[in-house]
Chains A and B, each alone.
Chain A
Amino acid sequence: MSEIEILSWARGPGLQIATVIFVAGVVIRIFEILLLGRKANLAEAKGSEMSSGLKTMITRTVPDKTTFKRSSVTIVAGYVFHIGMFISFFFFAPHILFFKDLIGISWPSLPGAVIDACAVISIIALLAVLVNRLTNKVMRFLTNFEDLLTWFLTFLPLITGYFAFHRIGFTAPSLLAAHLLSVELLLVVFPFTKLMHTFTLFLARWYNGAISGYRGVES
């Protein structure tokens, strides 16, 4: 297979396979979670479940002061990586075209230099995340194979994207194909790993907010 053939495969059938696994996996997982159901609370409410749940979905994004102080490395590295990745993922013109093709809507892109900077920052932050994971006592204790796998699979698209952007080492079709394939790999494992938190964290936060809010506590 030539690199152009691999690229064509990655842009076509490969993407199709990955999308089917990703979409089906995520939908099944969400159904799996929601259909388990939750008993209605019979205690007299002190606050609203719904509004508090919705609020926590957003407010939990910001850590409280003491938590920030105690876990600053984890939080800063995590946030920088997530934000950097978010920006380079959603605001790079070629990516926007991908979304446009997929969902029919598009939005303004950011200049290449900004995307590049975000990707670099994100890569550095992700490396910091790994170092932190391996050196922080608690994280090292909690870390299992899945954590390392998902780290690696998240790192791959970033690094291949960076290489493709700067055309380092290989020809553009090879780099582009590598980038696409790495994304496809990420999509395939996504529904079966902790990467699902991308979606389920909103459910989790809602439940957390609802449980607390029902008792009149902001969480």
Chain B
Amino acid sequence: MTKDKNLKNGAPEQVNLEKGTPVKGTLGEALRSQGVSRRSFMKFCATTASMMALPPAMIPTIARALENARRPSVIWLSFQECTGCTESLTRAHTSTVESLIFDSISLDYHHTLQAAAGHGAEEAREVAMEENYGNYLLVVDGSIPLDNPGYSTIAGISNLDMLNEAAKGAAAIIAVGTCATYGGIPHANPNPTGAVSVKDIIKDKPIINVPGCPPIPVVITGVLAHFLTFGSLPELDHIGRPKAFYGQSIHDRCYRRPFYDKGQFAETFDDEGAKKGWCLFKLGCKGPTTYNACATTKWNNGTSFPIESGHPCIGCSEPDFWDGGGFYKALSMPTVDLSQTAAYAAAGAAAAGVAIGLMNRSKKNTSNKIHVKTTLEDLKK
């Protein structure tokens, strides 16, 4: 893994969003002008704290920070992706609170969501980049093809060129989704487009990875909220993910964990164990090696998450999750056909063993042949 030079010990540099104020006024002012009451703001802050997985004791700090936060310009680039990440975000359940966060940023370019199209849309991007040079946030979803620039272009510009150009003036980059963070499905074997992640290309900017296929919407907004609140990148783990959301594995926070500990497993999707809600490890659950917030944050208005609905975790927020040997193959199983390997090896070795055995025998026979009967004369040298 190449280490981003801007990442020291996994912790990003402070990103100073205070210097420039792309959009005038603080968030507090903006909210008050919209007639949002202080009580509402307190509710917003409490929910934001909960969302960012920060302790409730931080709520007053968050409130103070949000009050004075500046509205950053955000440019969102979509490359080789399926729009799942945007779908996830726009379907975020905490609509009221989330809309507040969205209201507090200036989303200047997002070719799926913006009203403008064609040249107008691209112009908006260029203008935003120019006006907020050095200060805007760059959000990227999708991977970047390197084999042939023609595999994915926007307005005739290759993904690689657009990323390089947009990255230049960015204060920080948020890579959203597993494609942008680790290459994702396009990167899966045999990787026909030569897809790579953002961090494979951009080496001189702080990058925050928000993987998941798609990422949990509140995780995306939580990261944005952190920007707004503290004007810095949250603390990241060794592969660039905010620790607040990716600090613990699904397995460690899974409510089915006690079954794992007791050795109670569902063997099939419809056996007694499955009905009793036992651990899905044997059905291929990647929870033990997957770091994400699904088990606590959950999906669909906090309704459930895959394991709760009876399906093993597929590990979508981890690099190369598509090449992990099959979603339904338990983590402790080899990803290759080992019994065949073993059988071939044994067969080959048996032949070799016979050959070696015969060599040993002939060596011993030679020893017997050259042996001359020992007599008394032979006892002394």
Are A and B in contact, CB atoms below 8 Å, in the complex?
yes
Interface on A for B, CB 8 Å cutoff? 1-5, 7-8, 11-13, 15-16, 19-20, 23-32, 34-37, 93-95, 97-98, 100-104, 109-113, 167, 171-173, 176
- Contact B348 A98, beta carbon cutoff 8 Å: no
**Does B357 belong to the interface (CB within 8 Å)?**
yes
A24 touches B346 (CB 8 A): yes
In the bound complex, CA of A92 to CA of B333 (Å): 13
Are A27 and B289 neighbours in the complex by a CB distance under 8 Å? Answer: no
Q: Are A28 and B334 in contact (CB under 8 A)?
A: no
Say whether B325 contacts A97, CB under 8 Å.
no
Instruction: Report the Cα distance A171→B336, complex, angstroms.
Output: 24
Give A100 to B251 CA distance when docked, in angstroms. Answer: 22
Q: How far is the CA of A34 from the CA of B356 in the complex (A)?
A: 11
Query: Contact: A111 with B261, CB < 8 Å?
Result: yes
Which residues of B come within 8 Å of A, CB atoms? 1, 182, 237-239, 249, 251-252, 260-263, 265, 281-282, 288-289, 291, 318-321, 323-325, 329-336, 338-339, 341-342, 344-346, 348-350, 352-354, 356-358, 360-361, 364
**8 Å CB contact of B357 from A2, A34, A113:** A34
B353–A172 CB distance below 8 A: no
- Further 18 A-B residue pairs, CB within 8 A, beyond A32-B353, A36-B361, A176-B288: A11-B324, A11-B325, A11-B336, A16-B338, A19-B342, A20-B341, A23-B345, A23-B346, A24-B349, A35-B353, A36-B360, A93-B263, A112-B260, A112-B262, A113-B261, A171-B291, A172-B289, A176-B331
Knowing A2-B319, A4-B289, the reply to whether A97 touches B1 (Cβ < 8 A) is no
Give B258's nearest chain A residue, CB to CB: A112
CB distance from B185 to the nearest CB of A (A): 15
Q: How far is the CB of A55 from chain B (nearest CB, A)?
A: 28
Could you list 26 A-B pairs, sorted by A, with CB under 8 Å?
A2-B320, A5-B320, A11-B334, A12-B325, A15-B334, A16-B341, A20-B341, A20-B345, A23-B346, A24-B349, A27-B346, A27-B350, A27-B353, A35-B360, A36-B361, A93-B281, A94-B330, A94-B332, A98-B332, A102-B342, A103-B339, A104-B339, A110-B263, A112-B260, A112-B261, A172-B288
A34 to B358, CA, bound (A): 11
Instruction: Give chain B nearest CB distance to A168 CB in angstroms.
Output: 12
Measured CA separation A8–B289 after assembly (Å):
12
Known: A1-B1, A8-B320, A27-B346. A13 touches B336 (CB 8 A): yes
Q: How far apart are the CA atoms of A31 and B356 in the complex, in Å? A: 8
A19's partner among B1, B319, B320, B341 (CB-CB below 8 A) is B341
- Given contacts A23-B345, A28-B353, whether A101 and B260 have CB atoms under 8 Å apart is no
Q: What are the 7 tightest A-B residue pairs by CB atom distance, in nearest-first order?
A: A35-B357, A31-B353, A94-B332, A24-B349, A27-B349, A23-B345, A112-B261
Q: How far is the CB of B333 from chain A (nearest CB, A)?
A: 4
A13 CB to closest chain B CB, in angstroms? Answer: 7
Given contacts A27-B350, A171-B238, A171-B291, contact A37 B332 (CB under 8 A): no
Asked if residues A31 and B357 are in contact (CB atoms below 8 Å), the reply is yes
Complex Cα distance A173/B331, Å?
A: 10
Check B263–A12 contact: CB distance below 8 A: no
Please give, as numbers and ranges, the residues of chain A lying within 8 Å of B335 by CB-CB distance: 8, 11-12, 15
When C-beta atoms are compared, the residue in chain A nearest to B329 turns out to be A101
Q: In the complex, which residue of chain A has the Cβ closest to the Cβ of B332?
A: A94
